[in-house]
Structure 1
């Protein structure tokens, strides 16, 4: 992943979101015995979810799977777009709509996961997609024409497709932090070498503050990224808790940080950052492929859930407790007497919960070096401040809160930075305990936390007093053509 993002994507699509992962988690013993050995002997897998007109809302997919009259097979028809490995995969997970089921007197859409083998026939490679970067991947538009799939190839049962997709994407999202951390380390390595070699105005460029500050931020951020990746992966391996929230925060934090690091590497290397590795090599210079890394990295805040979708997802997860409490009182299906009872239950809960959010944060764990103590205290206090502000936002905007995406994004940014700080501090303390004579990890965690604290204060300061309405107004004016004159002199 540090050198070739295409290889990382190839492997991730094959084993993290392809057939092996959902099969291990949701598959029957018979399915595991039949398919898993094939991946040890060269079979390539893929995950087919996105469609030409369906991106982040899989509930609207149009690919259909209709049962045969004898009930032994399903016939799949539809198209899947941006299916990584799909052009070459011989086994893939395909999400499709199956006939709706009646639940409480109303039809409920069913999305089901199927194991589809190319040998079944009817799987057509319509087009291999080409992108800004990731030139080495086999990604394309697939068409399923009357593909006959036995019912034994359904994973997890009918109607479990969305659950399987979301669970599988957790694993896929955890590959992103590892991959982008590797690419960021490659960029840092190229920058350090160049900054120690290049001389400007009588000094190596690494001695100039403008460059040194970028290198310091890159180094400390990479330490935090690796910490987030490792701790989130350990949580996933333990299988003791639902890691949807942690996986989403890890993906969001590391991909956005990585893009800044890649951009910084290109900036520091200047023309040699913008020039291709092939061109550099042709004229006798070391072929650092920073330009290619930038093209490859641009997709990272888009795939496995865009940063915008991640923020909405994280916000919804964070609000889940409050939503359940509120809906138990105002929900349309709640009877009058039950509503009254739920109101008093909610009142009793918040009468205790809300005042606690003003109490001091949790105590600092034993063994924490003094230079990091203030950061631990900061996390405890600001985690409670975040909880208060989230609650206030829900009370102010109620059902309109979901539309306040800037506000939610700021709250999520705070939570993500607090999570990253926690991971960086925990890993720094552990590494220092293993080798007390080396304070390198403490320095990196300290710097990262100092910078994160600045970002958190800025996010909090603009929560409720900002220019969000004016920004939205200008955007709508642009969409309606008010500023069309800006476009008049282009060819």
Structure 2
């Protein structure tokens, strides 16, 4: 039987190291980050100091070259303490993955070292207000002028916008070309003339990770900043999502683990009818179901991460399945955690209400779970 994945001693040592950092320097600030909708600078500083901020960057560019499973473990453990902070390594991978998959060596050498050193973060610009699930309907345009490109339009729902220095942006480069094959990918820098940001969105969860629109007003992009070949942008974008949906599964698993851990501790302390509520069978059944769903999600995510590392042909199916199942499970588990705490679960004195709010986005971004089901079905019918 094929060994789909295996965590090594090094993976488990990594987990312990990340957990120690998170418990000491990330989780203590999670409530304040959420309450004040502020970027988790303490987390960024701690993650940069330990090389957990962008562990996927290859060693040849100054990174640690972590494999896909190791990256997922990092994201999972950070999300267990603070979902907003877990988007630091997750979005660094999302934003830079197109360059890693299709960029020239020169492009990688230009941008990856700064990300590896923690001097810059990388975001991803694909969605637009009227082109979310239907990405091929994007309106942002890039027009060739000599060796350069002039970029006009906007992008919406961009994670860590305004904090990141680099942005992978998809734009239509051939308006008369075949739909989906007329899009190209570019690297945009935060200080490019004509590039600006919208106001931060007011969100249900992940409030510490800024979400803003990107605006392009005649932004001149040097020709050497195109990622891959002209017209291959959407193909590159979808290949990217095959890999990075696994990281959203990791985030969902981490959020769910944090909620389960807190609920288990609470029900063993909470007394009703003269005994801890953990002694009631109804509570025990809830905990068992939560743990069963969580462990199933974790195993699916680890398998998908191993497939991402190998770039297996069925990665698209497994990435979508892991993201879909784990995020649905996280929503159920965090909701049950709130229920187990009763009235205490509904107030901000306890973190489970934040975890429930944070979990919701994992069902939506990097493709809604309805889109994930379409992706899986298409793989089945090939």
Whether these two folds match at TM > 0.5 is yes
Given the alignment, which residue of 126, 151, 155 partners 1:80?
A: 155
TM-score by length of 2: 0.76
Structure 1 pair 119–144 and aligned structure 2 pair: CA distance change class (3 A): same
Structure 2 distance, partners of 1:40, 1:167, is 22
Give the counterpart of 1:289 among 351, 355, 358. Answer: 351
Query: How far apart, CA to CA, are the structure 1 residues paired with 2:91 and 2:302?
Result: 20
Shift in Å, 1:260: 0.6
Q: Which residue pairs with 2:342 in the alignment?
A: 270
Q: Which has the higher contact order (CA 8 A, sep 6+)?
A: 2
Task: Specify every segment of 5 or more residues in structure 1 that has no aligned partner in the other structure, as ranges.
Answer: 278-287, 321-491
Say whether residues 1:37 and 2:113 are aligned partners: yes
Q: Per-residue deviation at 1:318?
A: 1.1
The count of residues paired between Structure 1 and Structure 2 equals 303
2 CA distance for matches of 1:185 and 1:302? 20
What is the CA–CA distance in structure 1 between the aligned matches of 2:283 and 2:233, rounded to whole Å?
49
SS of 1:165's partner is helix
**Structure with greater helix percent:** 1
CA contact (8 A) 1:101 1:109 kept: no
Match of 1:305 in 2: 367
Shift >4 Å, 4+ stretches: 100-103
1:234 aligns with 2:298: no
1:27 maps to 103
Counterpart secondary structure, 1:9: helix
Q: Tell me the distance in 2 between the aligned counterparts of 1:234 and 1:29.
A: 25
Give the unaligned 5+ runs of structure 2: 1-78
Give 1:11 shift.
Answer: 2.4
Contact residue 181 and residue 234 of structure 2 kept, 8 A = no
Alignment of 1:70-469 (within 5 A): 70=146, 72-100=147-175, 109-277=181-349, 288-320=350-382
Aligned-partner Cα distance in 1 for 2:131–2:258: 35
Contact residue 156 and residue 214 of structure 2 kept, 8 A = yes
Give the deviation of 1:291 after TM superposition: 1.1
Q: How much has 1:190 moved relative to structure 2? A: 1.2
Q: How far off is 1:109 after superposition?
A: 5.0
Counterpart-to-counterpart distance in 1, 2:193 and 2:161: 14
Aligned-pair distance for 1:242?
4.1
Work out the CA distance in 2 between the residues paired with 1:317 and 1:276. 42
* 1:64 is the counterpart of 2:141: yes
Aligned to 2:294, the other structure's residue is in SS state helix
| Whole-angstrom distance in 2 between the partners of 1:74 and 1:255 | 38
Let me know the Cα RMSD of the aligned residues. 1.6
Q: Deviations over 1:341-363 (max 9, x none)?
A: xxxxxxxxxxxxxxxxxxxxxxx
TM-score after normalising by structure 1: 0.60
Choose 1 or 2 for highest CA Rg.
Answer: 1
Distance 1:108 1:195, change over 3 A: closer
| Contact 2:328 2:363 survives alignment (8 Å) | yes
Residue 406 of structure 1 corresponds to none
Distance in structure 2 (CA, Å) of the matches to 1:242 and 1:304: 18
Aligned partner of 2:84 in structure 1 is 6
Name whichever of 73-82 and 199-208 sits farther off: 199-208
